A = this chain, B = another copy of it.
């Protein structure tokens, strides 16, 4: 079976499961595809369960009453989506939204099957623990950034981080995407980028920011703009 092979390859604790557990898991798992832009968690009451990304990209974010969005993290191929299964954990009581940033193929383990596994299998419980700790770390990091760092520092750090591995030293993103990842406002990012441009740190064009002076941009992080 194709799907079992994928499960064995992608589910990190597969090799720690008993034969019976593997069988019940195999019986429950199935594949699913989400289209780019589709909301997969948050608005409806549907409880997808645990997702394993075969390909594509998901975005998890907070949404305010007034419609402001703050990105918490992205999930890429090979990663696990835990909070699509949050409905089965009574201690998780916040509203998180998850969209597909690209067309995304997943292995889906429905909530009942995953819940059962989580309650019966120590390796799975420990793995969920690891995931939870990782997400908590992500959120705490973002919180520290928002509370304690200035926008110029954070934006500079984000640009440098994102430009890594890009041949042109460029970041492909709209100001709005950057603002959401920074927990800031689009206009504030636009203005800060303009300022960076006047200082010859970056070159702006629609949908792209090219870093022209990485060293000076790094200096912004250490020594915020005067």
Q: Which residues of A contact B (CB under 8 A)?
A: 62, 64-66, 68, 70, 89, 91-94, 96, 118-122, 125-126, 128-130, 132-137, 139-144, 146-148, 183
Contact B147 A64 (CB under 8 A): yes
Chain B residues closer than 8 Å to A89, beta-carbon distance: 129, 133
A36 to chain B, nearest CB (A): 26
Contact A126 B136 (CB under 8 A): no
Q: Which of B91, B134, B147 contacts A146 (CB 8 A)?
A: B147
Query: Smallest CB-CB separation from A127: which chain B residue?
Result: B125
A45 to B94 Cα, complex, angstroms: 33
Chain B residues closer than 8 Å to A66, beta-carbon distance: 148
A64 to B148 Cα, complex, angstroms: 6
Q: Which of B91, B120, B134 contacts A133 (CB 8 A)?
A: B91
A21 to chain B, nearest CB (A): 13
A65 to chain B, nearest CB (A): 7
Contact B147 A68 (CB under 8 A): yes
Given contacts A125-B129, A128-B129, A148-B68, contact A62 B143 (CB under 8 A): yes
Contact B147 A183 (CB under 8 A): yes
Contact B94 A144 (CB under 8 A): yes
A136 to B125 Cα, complex, angstroms: 17
Chain B residues closer than 8 Å to A65, beta-carbon distance: 148
Q: Which of A92, A118, A129 has the most B CB atoms < 10 Å from its CB?
A: A129
Given contacts A125-B122, A129-B125, contact A137 B91 (CB under 8 A): yes
